[in-house]
Chain A
Amino acid sequence: MGAAIDEASLRDLIPQVIAVLRRRGADFAAAEDAVQEALVKALEVWPADPPQDPRAWLVTVAWRRFLDAARSASARRARELRVGASEAPAEVSGHDDTLELYLRCAHPSLTPSSAVALTLRAVGGLTTRQIAEAYLVPEATMAQRISRAKRTVSEVSLDRRGALGTVLRVLYLVFNAGYSGDVDLSQEAIRLARRLHVVTGHPEAAGLLALMLLHHARRPARTRSDGTLVPLAEQDRSLWDTPLVAEGVAVLQAALARDRLGEYQAQAAIAALHCDARSTADTDWVQVVGWYDELVALTDSPVHRLNRAVAVGEADGGPAGLAALEPLDPRLPRYDAVAAYLHELAGDTDRAADLYAAAADRAASIPERDHLTRQSARLRSVT
């Protein structure tokens, strides 16, 4: 990208340009297609020839693409082109346009993977190729996924209040996909959550943003340079990104002060307690358990109950943690890993070693599998 604009600022313009085309009467799917074409063109020509006004450039090129596509479609169908005239531009603010876009791209009629892909393209301003690379699928596959998703949501009606939860879930999925290809999806998710927070002012949007910031702050310490996992207890806390922690805590505190607790605020509160401690021994585990109680009351999620069992083990010892684990379904993801850790806390290293090995067989990622295999080997080499 040339001096005129960096790629992140370019991406920020994409939802605005889609909104302009929508106001001029283009339907969602056609507007989004035209803007994507303009974006690809911009990435191609701007480095050598940056425009004076990037937004105006994108609007002009996208609108021209839209008209070309509409004309050829209308010629094919020999139908009259009705653009702009029938739909008077509604007087809506930019915020409403942006929220509308978030809601449409995360519509409950979409599967999670389609919602993620469409959100990254239309709200995030990524190209199809970047999204395909990030999710390790061929570009043609991703293009199909996006175009089907657009057909699904082009005409849906949007429920502004009820559907915010689906937007938050989609952004959290993006955040957790991590890093592959040339786009850092965690940072991308943070950018989108920041904007959603500004647009909605909703405490749970704040909660999600805080949660992402607090997790992201620990990223430099979570893996070694070779990609191997460093568990929380062994992380070099001087590597944590303190300004990011401070921002996350500030966003969270402002949200909690509004007294409308939700699952993301509760999870962020737990993350904040970890960030606040100098070591795992120094962590206020009793308070962590308290927040897990809130979280479980809000979501009734077995995954949160599983994590709660770890916190109980830290607060009250291995046997108490195992008692909290007792009622849970052993088929839950990471159940064996949690059971292994709690047995180790309780001093039963043989059982813990077996469970770590079983957990390695059920791991969902390579770093996790390798970490669990190493844990099992560590315990077996001392017994």
Chain B
Amino acid sequence: MARYLLLKHYRGAPTPEGFVPMDGWTPEEFDDHVQYMRDFAEKLRETGEFVGEQALAPEGRWVRFDGEGRPPVTDGPFAETKDLIAGYMVIDVDSEERAYELAAELSAAPGKDGRPIHEWLEVRPCLEATLPADA
């Protein structure tokens, strides 16, 4: 009944304890990690809670309007940008508790030595587009 966005960050989230970057994993550990994410999305499809997901390339450009008749100005990418979104998943669940439960499950994806990575995920409620009928 309520939609939530689960945000994965490349950068900007607190670093979990015992963090090992992906390039320190074996190929098998990496495959297991990816499979866990796939299984997770598949499970949500089966429970009827999946809305959508999208992975994002780490490098993007900043773009802005530069006046009438002028081409847009582009800048970046900025290597120093603190916050960098890696991708998102949108879920439709019955409660905030359920959203947290699922985020925690996603955060338990295996990494180095098959141990949960304890990655911090950002959970954001989606705003409804319309008012409730009794407002």
Are these two chains actual partners, yes or no?
A: yes
- A-side interface residues toward B, CB under 8 Å? 111-114, 116-117, 135-138, 140-146, 148, 173, 175-180, 186, 211-212, 215-216, 219, 222-223, 227, 229, 363-369
Judge whether B131 and A367 touch: CB under 8 Å.
yes
CA of A136 to CA of B130 in the docked complex: distance in angstroms?
A: 12
- Nearest-neighbour CB distance to chain A for B130, whole angstroms, equals 4
Q: A176-B132, A186-B133 are in contact. Are A138 and B47 (CB under 8 A)?
A: no
Question: Which B8-49 residues have a C-beta within 8 angstroms of A?
Answer: 45-49
CA of A116 to CA of B51 in the docked complex: distance in angstroms?
A: 17
Q: A111-B94, A366-B128 are in contact. Are A148 and B48 (CB under 8 A)?
A: yes
Is the C-beta of B1 less than 8 angstroms from some C-beta in chain A?
yes
Most buried by A among B48, B92, B130: B48
The 8 Å CB contact of B135, one of A140, A148, A229, is A229
Interface 1/0s, chain B 88-102, versus A by CB < 8 A? 000011100000000
Q: A111-B94, A112-B1 are in contact. Are A141 and B133 (CB under 8 A)?
A: no
Residues on B with beta carbons closer than 8 Å to the beta carbon of A142: 48
Majority SS at the chain A contact face: helix
Is the C-beta of B129 less than 8 angstroms from some C-beta in chain A?
yes
CA of A310 to CA of B122 in the docked complex: distance in angstroms?
A: 35
Most buried by B among A137, A142, A173, A215: A137
Q: A113-B92, A141-B50, A366-B128 are in contact. Are A215 and B134 (CB under 8 A)?
A: yes
Residues on A with beta carbons closer than 8 Å to the beta carbon of B132: 176-178, 365
Give the total number of A-B pairs whose CB atoms are below 8 A apart. Answer: 88
Judge whether A364 and B48 touch: CB under 8 Å.
no
CA of A117 to CA of B46 in the docked complex: distance in angstroms?
A: 15
The 8 Å CB contact of B133, one of A135, A146, A175, A369, is A175
Judge whether A365 and B127 touch: CB under 8 Å.
yes
CA of A212 to CA of B127 in the docked complex: distance in angstroms?
A: 24
- Nearest-neighbour CB distance to chain B for A192, whole angstroms, equals 14
Judge whether A369 and B48 touch: CB under 8 Å.
no
Is the C-beta of B52 less than 8 angstroms from some C-beta in chain A?
yes
CA of A365 to CA of B45 in the docked complex: distance in angstroms?
A: 26
Is the C-beta of B3 less than 8 angstroms from some C-beta in chain A?
yes
List 7 A-B residue pairs with CB atoms under 8 Å apart, sorted by A's residue number.
A117-B48, A138-B51, A143-B48, A144-B46, A145-B48, A219-B133, A366-B128
Q: Give the top 5 A-B pairs by smallest Cβ distance, nearest first.
A: A145-B48, A365-B128, A176-B132, A144-B48, A178-B130
Judge whether A148 and B51 touch: CB under 8 Å.
no
CA of A31 to CA of B46 in the docked complex: distance in angstroms?
A: 22
